Structure 1
Amino acid sequence: MATTRQGQRPAPASPPINAPGTPGRKAAGGRPTRAAALQLEQRILDVAAALFASQGYAATTMEQVADACKAGKDTIYRRYASKGALFGALMDRLRTEIIAELGACTPPSGPPLARLREFARALLEVNLRPQLVALNRVALGEAVPAKGVPPPSSTDDPFMQRLATLIQAAQADDALAEGDPFFIAEQLLYATSIRPLVATMLGDAQFADPAHRQSYFDQAWQLFFDGASQRPVSRATTRS
């Protein structure tokens, strides 16, 4: 190894600013830049996702997250006041990322009913991803019952909001019958995604087969459409 003029070894080169596991550049005064702070926040959520998915909500501690991130415990608590807040932030990030992904694979124009079907089909695929299955199992089995995180209401859930918007468009196009779009969205979601998700969470492996997923979705969609496209029959018509 080369030496300095005094015969001493030179100091090792600093790692790249954005190398994995490094905190990133600091601004003047020692405070992290906004980019470095965002990078750290993403790393915290990535580590938390892996820990929650692999060992559950109860077994995961803030200390474990801090150790795995190579960050101080105070750094974690400054961003997330509790484990529930950390888990909630993780699920919020997942929802935001998934909504963006689904938006990219859903046609921006065309018949509203076809767009609704594409969105529901893509949502089924996303819901059955292994990490999302694991995190949903943790949320429903541990985090929500332990009051670590509150379940989102239908009107606040971004997936329900998107489904309801597409349903309203299909209703305006006279492809679906009138009715509460959020109620209709709930029935569609349960028929096409929640049932396969729950089955997979309980260890049913049949939905791992793409052909089975497609067959199931086609049947669930047809059942939904047959019901949601029906116009209510008036009592006068029934009597006659």
Structure 2
Amino acid sequence: MKNPGTVEPAAGTGSSSVVGKSKGGRPSREAQAALNRRILESAAELFAVQGFAATTMEQVASVCGAGKDTIYRRYSSKSALFKALMEGLQAEVLSELDAQMDAGPRDARDRLKRFARALLSINLRPQMIALNRVALGEAVTLGGVKPTSTIEDPIMKRFALLVKQAQAEGALKRGATLFIAEQLLYATSIRPLISEMLGEGRFSDPAEQERYFSQAWKLFLEGALGAGGQA
């Protein structure tokens, strides 16, 4: 996903652009996938810059270079398009986090710390802040985007698993795993995200992000779990 900025039609796209065809004359699977990526990227830019209400399906079609009917064949409404966008974004985040964890340390507590720090960096990307702001606004309106329950959230599941593994290794005290994971997520990631969604601007400085995370992680170990405060 691109960071928000001035929204312009993608280079080389337009209603007359040539799409790869299969032998039967229909667009190939690769071309269909590329078009769908272009639709979602264009929608992400528009939603991030303009918000949900000001963005229209016609604008998405214009920016991505596809016909409006093409957009509606894939997404029956603007809400459906936004939901698909957020689901795709979450899948990208999970893939990025999993790749980082695969290359990371084996120690469970270090893995938990690495996961929390990586998620903070991802959440504080400008487009992520903007789209979460839009999602929050839609979640409180009729017909808006409904948030995933904590117990079903795939990021929360990974947090809880890492906490459980750290507990099993004796690095953290035993306790309600999901509750502990929720508190860690809020302290290290959600609180800064909310701050930026409100326009405070405090965490735009990478040094401030690192300072805040180090403090939050230390307090998590010392206060919430009594784990000795060793970073």
- C-alpha deviation, 1:144, in angstroms: 1.3
Counterpart of 2:92 in structure 1 is: 97
Aligned residues with identical type, % of pairs:
57
**Which of 195, 202, 220 is equivalent to 1:224?**
220
SS at match of 2:192: helix
| Structure 2, unpaired ranges of 5+ | 1-10
Residue in 1 that maps onto 2:147: 151
Which residue of the other structure, out of 117, 139, 149, is the alignment partner of 1:121?
117
Q: Does residue 58 of the first structure (1) align with residue 40 of the second (2)?
A: no
Residue number in structure 2 paired with 1:68: 63
In the alignment, the residues of structure 2 paired with residue 126 and residue 69 of structure 1 have an alpha-carbon distance, to the nearest angstrom, of 25
Q: Aligned partner of 1:183: which letter?
A: F
After superposition, residues 54-203 of structure 1 pair within 5 angstroms as: 54-106=49-101, 107-141=103-137, 143-146=138-141, 147-203=143-199
Conserved? CA contact 1:83–1:148, under 8 Å: no
Instruction: State the Cα distance separating 1:29 from its structure 2 match.
Output: 3.2
Look up the match of 1:47. 42
Alpha-carbon distance, 1:23 to partner? 4.9
- Contact residue 85 and residue 148 of structure 1 kept, 8 A: no
Contact 1:144–1:150 (Cα < 8 Å) also in 2 = yes
- TM-score, structure 1 length as denominator? 0.83
Structure 1: stretches of 5+ with no match in the other structure: 1-18, 232-240
Q: Helix, strand or coil: the match of 1:155?
A: helix
* 1:104 Cα deviation after fit: 2.1
Matched-pair contact (CA < 8 Å) for 1:23–1:36: no
The alignment partner of 2:87 has SS state of helix
Which amino acid in the other structure matches residue 114 of structure 1? D
Structure 1's 109 and 213: CA in aligned 2 closer, same or farther, altered over 3 A?
Answer: closer
Q: Which has the larger Rg?
A: 1
Which of the numbers 25, 32, 39 marks the counterpart of 2:20?
25
Q: Show the counterpart of 1:11.
A: none
Residue 84 to residue 175, structure 1, CA distance change in 2 (3 Å): same
Q: How many residues align?
A: 212
Measured in 2, the distance between the counterparts of 1:112 and 1:212 equals 26
SS of the equivalent of 1:183 reads helix
Structure with the bigger RCO (C-alpha within 8 Å, sep 6+) is: 2
Could you list the runs of 4 or more consecutive aligned residues of structure 1 that deviate by over 4 angstroms after TM superposition? Answer: none
The residue that corresponds to 2:33 in the other structure is 38
